[in-house]
């Protein structure tokens, strides 16, 4: 019984902010913990990096199965990333968020603000880690405020 309590508690916490390639991702979505999860999906967490595309192209994708087949998707990415540093979410950095339950997609017609900070960028070890914060606004949709975001992933 004790293991189930600990597992349940971990689901309600953000992953530790590590830099070891642990394949973790999470943030607070309007104050609530958001972590990728769900058995229905083939791939719930993916990081890809192409050093040859426009100075380095980074893409992080995560999915969460909510209930009744409703899925929340998030994608953070951009170009010109080739070292640790902070990158503002501008036309070169994109965030995509979709929630099939509320039928809102935050895409090119959304207002995006925020940043992604790369804290470890180690291509030889195939590890990219960092933190992020963003806000998405779109007419007719709830404002999405992602805070305390962190990821620690291996490049596939």
- The maximal CA–CA distance of the chain, rounded, in angstroms, is 51
Q: What is the mean pLDDT of the chain?
A: 82
Give the residue among 50, 104, 103, 98 at the shortest CA–CA distance from 77.
Answer: 50
What DSSP character marks residue 139? T
Give the other-Cβ count within 10 Å of 22's Cβ: 15
pTM score, two decimals?
0.83
pLDDT at position 95 is 58
Beta partners for residue 24, in sequence order: 152
DSSP code at position 42: S
Specify the higher pLDDT residue, 6 or 82.
82
Q: How confident is the model at residue 3 (pLDDT cuts 50, 70, 90)?
A: low
| pLDDT at res. 130 | 97
DSSP 37: B
């Amino acid at each position: 019984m004790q293991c189930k309590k600990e597992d349940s508690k971990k689901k309600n916490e953000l992953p530790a902010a590590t830099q070891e390639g642990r394949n973790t991702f999470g943030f607070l979505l309007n104050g609530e913990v958001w972590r990728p999860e769900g058995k229905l999906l083939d791939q719930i967490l993916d990081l890809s990096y192409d050093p040859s595309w426009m100075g380095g192209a980074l893409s992080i994708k995560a999915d969460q199965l909510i209930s009744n087949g409703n899925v929340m998707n998030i994608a953070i990415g951009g170009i010109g990333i080739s070292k640790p540093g902070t990158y503002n979410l501008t036309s070169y950095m994109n965030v995509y968020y979709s929630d099939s339950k509320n039928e809102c997609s935050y895409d090119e017609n959304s207002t995006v603000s925020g940043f992604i900070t790369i804290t470890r960028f180690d291509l030889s070890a195939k590890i990219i880690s960092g933190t992020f914060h963003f806000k998405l606004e779109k007419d007719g949709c709830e404002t999405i405020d992602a805070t305390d975001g962190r990821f620690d992933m291996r490049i596939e």
